[in-house]
Each structure stands twice: as C-alpha cells, then as structure tokens.
Structure 1
Amino acid sequence: MWKETDYAGWGRAKRAHGDVARPERPADLGALEAAPAFGMRRSYGDAPLNDGGRMVDMTRFDRMRGFDAETGVLHVEAGARIGEIAEAFAARGWLPAVMPGTGFATVGGCIAQDVHGKNHHHAGSFGAHVLEITLIQNGAEVTALPGTPLFRATVGGLGQTGVIVAAKLQMKPCKGDAMMVIERRARNWDEHVAFLDASTASYTVGWIDATATGAHLGRGIVEEGESAAGLVHKRALTARVPMDAPHFALSAPIVHAFNWAYYSRVPARGRTVVKPIGEFFFPLDKIHDWNRLYGKRGFHQFQCVVPLDQAPALREMVEAIATSGLASPLAVLKRMGPGRAGYLSFPMEGYTLAVDFPNRPAARDLIRDLELAAADAGGRLYFAKDALAEGARIRAMYPELSDWQAVVAEVDPDRNYETDLVRRLSLRSA
C-alpha cells in the first residue's frame, strides 16, 4: 500500500520524499501505521510534507455520506473538495458556510487550517460551522465535538490530533448558483481600506496592485458579492499551464503591465456583473497548475493579519513590497472579523494581506522583513501559506499554543503525526 514518492506543497519551493499510502475505505485507514495525512496539498509551504517519513493521501475519501435538506447539515468525508460541494448544492439552495480561495481545498484541509473566506467579517472561520469531526488516532476512531479541547486542537491544528476522516458541516442557505458582484476601483490605500470598512455585503474582497507606488499606492479593485438565482450565465472556461514558465515570465515590467490592465478592466464608475459561483469564489481554479507560472523554483506567499488599529503598519508593508519590484499579480487585501474556532486558528479582527513572490533570495529576504513587521504590529502569519518563518517568532503570535500542545501531547505522545512545518517551527516543543 505504501509507495515511495516525491511530492510538494502548492508553492513548490519546499519538497519531500517518502512513502505515501492512498487508502480507499475506513478499514484500510485503520490498518495503516499511524502517519500524518494530506489532501490536495493546497497549503503553499511545508504543512502537507513529511520528508523522509510517511504520509496518508486522503483524496479517495471524497464521498458525501448524507444531507439533511431541512437543516442543511452535510455529512461528508475529509477528501471531498469544497468546489465540488458548492457545485453540487448551490442549485439546491445551499453552500459551504465558508470557502477558501480555491475549490480544490478538501474538507479535511479546511478543518486542519481553519480556513477563512470572503465572508469572514460576517461568518467567521470554517471551523465555526463544523458540527462534528471524525478522527482516526493510532487506528482507533474518535469523535471531536465543538466546545471540547480535542475539537479546538483539531480545528486549525495542522493534523496533529490524528487523521481527519469525515465531518458534519452546517451549510449556509443561498439563492442559487450565481453571484451578483459589484466591482469598484479603489484609487489608493486609504480608499481601499475605506471601501472594505464600509462594506455590508455578504462577501467582500480586495485585489491590490502590489506594484503601484506613490499616490497610487494600495490601489486595486474591491468586489462585493451576493448569491443570486434565475440568472443566465456562462460556465467559466478552463485552461492548463503545460510547463514550468521561464524565470522572466513574472519579471517586474510584465507584472506591472498586467496589474495596470487588470485594474483598468473595471470602469472608473464601477460596474455590476453576474458570475458563476466558482468564478467568484475560486478565480484561479480556471487555470489548472497555475503555480507552474513561477518556474521550477516555485514561489512563496506572505500572508499576515494585523489588528484594525495597525492599518498604518500594513500600509508600510505594502509600500515595501511595491518598491521591491518582486511582487506577482496575485495580491489580496481583506477585512477580517474576530471569528476563529481553534487554538491555532489564524484569524483575528483586522486586515489581512496576501502576496505571492517568486522563490528568489531577494524575495525571501523581503518576506523575513515583512514577518518582523507583522510581529511588531501584533499580527499573525498563516500556517497554510508559510514556508520561511522561524519558530520563536511565529509561536509568539499564537497565545493559546500551550493549550494546543497539551491536547496534542496527550493524543499523540509518540509524535506520529508530526510534519515538516511542525518540526521547523518547533510547535510541539515547550
């Protein structure tokens, strides 16, 4: 059942080699030697890696076990993809309550990272809508319920409490399988933040031009969305990146030109458009293997969240990025609410910035400077995106770390579920 394999996270800058098993049934999983698990490996860094060790591939555990059409409770296996759930249920009037930026993320991955979405300011994190989690711990099946230490250590807990097998999710009512989206230009940083602060829409997100400087610093496009029904729309076409792009594909002049064109596509007066569910929530999914645009060396993403009163510090980070000439077109700014469900959950009330960088020495140096700035601002880094942080710095950002450590030490004293990220950051060490 075990097969020796080379594999990587989505950023492809960190890689691993080891034995991987891909079980199909719960009995297969229970018979396996205890090992950490991954799904679609959409975490960017080393969260889904165990170099030199064993990993369990959960992608065949993708069945929907049951759905209550009256209450909207979905019982689903951990390998099911969020995008497939949305596609299956939107026309029936239900959506996952929280969806990350890719529909390829699995339910298990969304729990293990306690992901957030474009509605975090209203709905909180993914784990806030999980009613039950089924785990395999060293061959035994265990149930984790909200309010218990095991649940709080599992949600956002990086898979350290056992292999997530299935979960019951409280789905959210929706009007249909389309989105009515208002798009507006934000001309600069102050206007961008003001639009985010003032938004009352169910879903809000800002694309930020991370190459704009001077008076245009922080410009971008703010999208506000509501679900809609009975509207004619086209299904988004998909494409695939067939090979690793050359190093100059995302050079500064090309990125700057692309960003200007992307910003200009929205009229100065704004506009209202209708989009399919997937195109609004998962815009990059229509380009399969888009991570290959960064070449063989891969890429890193920096994502932090800082408190509301630290918006000026975040502006300084944006300025450092914009003047570096290193940013890619993929940069997002959102306002977050306070909702979080686990001891190591990323969200806090404030502003979150996410920016991709090609994997180059200058970019790694810049990311370390940005990490220091986030720490000084009282912010946090996101485990799902991180590949470079140092343990002491990131551990201090999570004040409930000791509570998480206590639960994990009890359920996994032999450290069977440790991954490269957990070891790199010494998360399980006192």
Structure 2
Amino acid sequence: MSRPTLLTGWGRTAPTAAHVVRPRTAAQAARMLAGAGPRGALARGLGRSYGDAAQAAGGTVLDCSELTGPPHLDTERRELTAPAGTSMGRIIAHLLGRGYFVPVTPGTRHVTLGGAIAADVHGKNHHADSSLGAHVRSLTLLTPTGEAHRLGPDGPDPDLFWATVGGMGLTGVITEATLGVHPVETAYARVDTDRTPDLDSTLDLMARSDHAYRYTVCWVDLLARDGSLGRGVLTRAHHALRADLPAPQRRDPLRHRTGTPLAAPPWAPPRLLNRWTVGAFNAAYHRAAPLRERGRAQPLGGFFHPLDAVEGWNRMYGPRGFVQYQFVVPFGEEDTLRAVAEGLSRAGAPSFLAVLKRMGAPTPGPLSFPRPGWTLALDLPAELPGLARLLDGFDERVLAAGGRVYLAKDSRARPDTVHAMYPDLPAWRATRARVDPDGVLVSDLARRLRLV
C-alpha cells in the first residue's frame, strides 16, 4: 500500500489523508474496490468539489483522472460516449471540432465526466435545460460487489441510476457514460450584458428576460451598502451563428480558444481578500461593465469558464482556504435572498465571486441539488471571524423557505439541517444499501453529514 496522501477540496479546507490509487481500466478499479480496507473507498476526479466530498480519511481514494480515452461521437443519435475520467475540457474540445457542444457545463472545464454526473452539475442554462443528469442517456456503474451495472433513466434499474446522478460517488464508481449533445455553428456565444443598480432591479430584470435566453448568469455585489446592495452585471447568451461573428472569425468559426492561463501566486498572505480589497474590486468591476451591450461575440471558454483563465486561483484566499456557499430557494422566496445579501453586507463578508441564477426543472435524483427557484453561490475566506455562525443562520432561513444547500460545495453544514433539506435521503439510502451492503463506499462528506 502506498504512503497516505493529504487531500483537500478546491476550497483547501479540512485536509485528510488517504491511500490514493490510480486505475486506468474498469478492471483495475474493480480490484481496487475489492481491496479496500476497513475505512472504505471512494472515487475522485480532478478535485474540484469545494469541500470534503472527494476525500475519505484513512481509506482508499481511486483517482479516476486516468480512467480515460478517446470520446466517441455518434452524429446520427447526437450522443457522445466517453470514459468517466475524461475531463469536460477534453470533451468540449472534441465536440466543438465537429460542430457540437455539451448539454450542460459547470463553471470550470477541469472536472471529469464521472464527477460531473455524481454531482449532477448545473450551468448557466438550468432554467432552460435542467442539469447534466437530464441529458445522461446511460452510464456504467461499478459497485463494491464486483458488478458492472449498465444504467439509464429508462433502463432496468432507474432507482439506482437516479441515486447515482447527484449521489456524490456513494453508489459506485462510474466508468463510462453517454450524453446527449447538440449541434452548434460556432465556438462563440452571442452575449447581451446589462448593468443593474441594486438587488431589486437585478431580480426584476432576470425574472422578465431570462426566458428569452438559453444561458444567463448575474454577478452581484454583496459588499455594497444601502441602496446599491445587490447591484449586478447580468450576462445572457445564445450560441452564436456564423453570421453573428466578425469577418475574421467567420473563416474558422469552430476554432476553440481557451488561451494560456495565468498562474496565481504560489502563496498569498492571510486576509489578502478582505472587505476593503474586495469592495474596491467589486466597485471597479461594476463600474467597468457596460450599462447595456447587445450581441457581443465571445469565445465559449471565456463565457462559460472565466476562472479557468487563472491557474490555481483558489490560492488567492490564503493558507486557510475558503468556503463556497451555494443554496437554492423557490420562486416567491426573494425575501430570503435579500436577508442573505443584507447579512453578508452587515458582516462585511468579502465575496467577489457571488453569482445569481434562476433554476428550472429538476431531475429525479434524491440527492440532486437543483430545484426551480433562485440560486446564489459565493466564496468566503475560511478565516472570516464568525463565519460558521453566519452561515448556520443562513441555513435556517434557506430551510424555512423550502430550499437547500449544494452538497458538492458544502464543507460545514449540520447533518440535521441537510437531512431536512433532502427529504428523499431515506429512499436514496435504501437504494444504495442494495449495491453496497457492506458500506464500502464512504467519504468525509458522508461521515460528517451522516448520509450513510
């Protein structure tokens, strides 16, 4: 057995040690699962879950990033099949070169296909297209009993399929999956931008206009005070047609541009991101955005994955890392959004990555996060005084409003709160017990929240 390796999530909080193994084939993954010790096993992708979802203290972690190979595109069926360790970036590059695009992408391309399904990731088009699980045609799931289950929403075991979609890797190791994809003419988005002066105008504009766009997202300033609280930069888009592009880009409209990422400093001092530095950034960013701009052609990489332009940006939060907090509340519960925004502003909580979106139809996954309503995601330095108390208070408001927090980003919620937010947890446990009767599959998240 190899020496234990210290692992964290992208937020770089709560490190724990596990034995890391790297399967390259499904057969190797099966042997590694079978050889797991008393502390269990868990699959891990590229480590972009923010909290402890891809950690298993004292156990065996299967690093599945080498469980990869060439994706296969079936143009007649508009389906792409790929090994689960294939990154979203590689899949997007493969598809765009052939005039297709993924149905859903999260805010980074540095996630594996299997990890994206396990978290049932959503993107800027959830209000129109739901989450990734709605577009998974089939997947192969390796369970600790040694069985390889071929699953789909209409297959022989739909309960296991949906327990796996959003199941945070706790039903088995996904080794391959097939997605529906859609054709595009270019590798660009046609983007409309509006700058809003406060939270009420932000919510109003999104409610009135989001239905007219496939993709929509709003950056909001949660450090602004008084009448400017919640001012935003709203960007909405469709896939650009060739005719939408400037003449130079029309010659090679499907050229995929990701650029060379800048590197964040290898070390940042504590409290570099504080209410004054972030407040200044937020004010400058809001002021620099166009008041109203229409039809700007933007490379898809820049539109969907802006933070990928800075390698290791999570180091900017200093040695103690950061907490990402994301919740969803139903439409009609806008007062909960206002209460959270006002609480953050009063606390001087420095978040320059606060993102507001509208969500649409959910998937049947018992642990899948998205629900129709408003979702707000924000990053906060882990060293912020009083952070735990502040977020616990927000959890109570979100729960009372009929909302929930996102397990793929959580690192600090309380078990009883999460259990109340996910009322289908008992049904999920029953399905999981069928395929993992000995409780081999486990994570730090699962232990902390008593999911298993």
Do the two structures share a fold, i.e. TM-score over 0.5?
yes
Task: Tell me the residue number matched to 1:406.
Answer: 430
**Cα RMSD over matched residues?**
1.5
Report how far residue 175 of structure 1 moved: 2.4
Larger displacement relative to structure 2 (91-100 or 289-298): 91-100
- Partners of 1:64 and 1:382 lie apart in 2 by 31
Task: Tell me the residue number matched to 2:182.
Answer: 172
Task: Tell me the residue number matched to 1:43.
Answer: 49
Aligned partner of 2:163 among 141, 153, 156? 153
Counterpart AA for 1:197 = A
Task: Tell me the residue number matched to 1:313.
Answer: 336
- Structure 2 counterparts to residues 90-105 of structure 1, below 5 A: 90-105=96-111
- Partners of 1:91 and 1:222 lie apart in 2 by 29
Counterpart AA for 1:420 = D
Counterpart AA for 1:140 = E
Report how far residue 86 of structure 1 moved: 1.3
Report how far residue 105 of structure 1 moved: 1.3
1:248 aligns with 2:276: no
Aligned partner of 1:286 among 296, 301, 309? 309
Larger displacement relative to structure 2 (323-332 or 121-130): 323-332
Task: Tell me the residue number matched to 1:380.
Answer: 404
Query: Is the Cα contact below 8 Å between 1:201 and 1:225 reproduced in 2?
Result: yes
The structure 1 segments of at least 4 consecutive aligned residues displaced by more than 4 Å after TM superposition are 232-235
Report how far residue 67 of structure 1 moved: 1.4
Give deviations 1:280-334, integer Å, cap 9, x for gaps.
0011011011000011100001100000010111111111112211222111000
Task: Tell me the residue number matched to 1:113.
Answer: 119
Report how far residue 190 of structure 1 moved: 1.2
Larger displacement relative to structure 2 (284-293 or 364-373): 364-373
Q: 1:2 to 1:174 in 2, by over 3 A?
A: farther
1:82 aligns with 2:88: yes
Task: Tell me the residue number matched to 2:62.
Answer: 56
- Partners of 2:105 and 2:292 lie apart in 1 by 29
Report how far residue 61 of structure 1 moved: 1.3
- Structure 2 counterparts to residues 288-307 of structure 1, below 5 A: 288-307=311-330
- Partners of 1:186 and 1:314 lie apart in 2 by 16
Query: Is the Cα contact below 8 Å between 2:71 and 2:94 reproduced in 1?
Result: no
- Partners of 2:95 and 2:139 lie apart in 1 by 21
- Partners of 1:384 and 1:68 lie apart in 2 by 31
Task: Tell me the residue number matched to 1:143.
Answer: 150
Query: Is the Cα contact below 8 Å between 1:244 and 1:294 reproduced in 2?
Result: no
Larger displacement relative to structure 2 (382-391 or 86-95): 86-95
> How many residues are aligned here?
428
- Partners of 2:274 and 2:296 lie apart in 1 by 31
- Partners of 2:358 and 2:424 lie apart in 1 by 23
Secondary structure at 1:422 match in 2: helix
Secondary structure at 2:66 match in 1: coil
Counterpart AA for 1:362 = G
Query: Is the Cα contact below 8 Å between 1:21 and 1:55 reproduced in 2?
Result: yes
Report how far residue 110 of structure 1 moved: 0.9
Report how far residue 40 of structure 1 moved: 0.6
Task: Tell me the residue number matched to 1:422.
Answer: 446
Counterpart AA for 1:145 = G
Query: Is the Cα contact below 8 Å between 1:59 and 1:79 reproduced in 2?
Result: yes
Query: Is the Cα contact below 8 Å between 1:185 and 1:270 reproduced in 2?
Result: no
- Partners of 2:446 and 2:347 lie apart in 1 by 30
Query: Is the Cα contact below 8 Å between 1:64 and 1:74 reproduced in 2?
Result: no
Q: 1:46 to 1:283 in 2, by over 3 A?
A: same
Counterpart AA for 1:337 = G
Query: Is the Cα contact below 8 Å between 1:91 and 1:176 reproduced in 2?
Result: no
Task: Tell me the residue number matched to 1:25.
Answer: 25
Task: Tell me the residue number matched to 2:365.
Answer: 342
**Structure 1 segments unaligned to the other structure (5+ residues):** none
Counterpart AA for 2:262 = A
Give deviations 1:26-67, integer Å, cap 9, x for gaps.
222122125210001111001001011111000001223421
Larger displacement relative to structure 2 (184-193 or 242-251): 242-251
Query: Is the Cα contact below 8 Å between 2:12 and 2:320 reproduced in 1?
Result: yes
Secondary structure at 1:296 match in 2: coil
Larger displacement relative to structure 2 (320-329 or 149-158): 320-329
Give deviations 1:160-195, integer Å, cap 9, x for gaps.
111111101111222221111111101111111112
Query: Is the Cα contact below 8 Å between 1:99 and 1:116 reproduced in 2?
Result: yes
TM-score normalised by structure 2 residue count: 0.92
Counterpart AA for 1:214 = D
- Partners of 1:174 and 1:213 lie apart in 2 by 42
Report how far residue 12 of structure 1 moved: 0.6
Query: Is the Cα contact below 8 Å between 1:3 and 1:21 reproduced in 2?
Result: no
Report how far residue 374 of structure 1 moved: 0.9
Query: Is the Cα contact below 8 Å between 1:177 and 1:229 reproduced in 2?
Result: no
- Partners of 1:267 and 1:54 lie apart in 2 by 50
Give deviations 1:135-174, integer Å, cap 9, x for gaps.
1112331112114111011000111111111101111222
Secondary structure at 1:36 match in 2: strand
**Identity within the alignment, %:** 41
Q: 1:341 to 1:280 in 2, by over 3 A?
A: farther
Q: 1:272 to 1:246 in 2, by over 3 A?
A: farther
- Structure 2 counterparts to residues 319-338 of structure 1, below 5 A: 319-338=342-361
- Partners of 1:341 and 1:77 lie apart in 2 by 24
Counterpart AA for 1:168 = T
Secondary structure at 1:323 match in 2: helix
Secondary structure at 1:309 match in 2: coil
Aligned partner of 1:222 among 234, 250, 255? 234
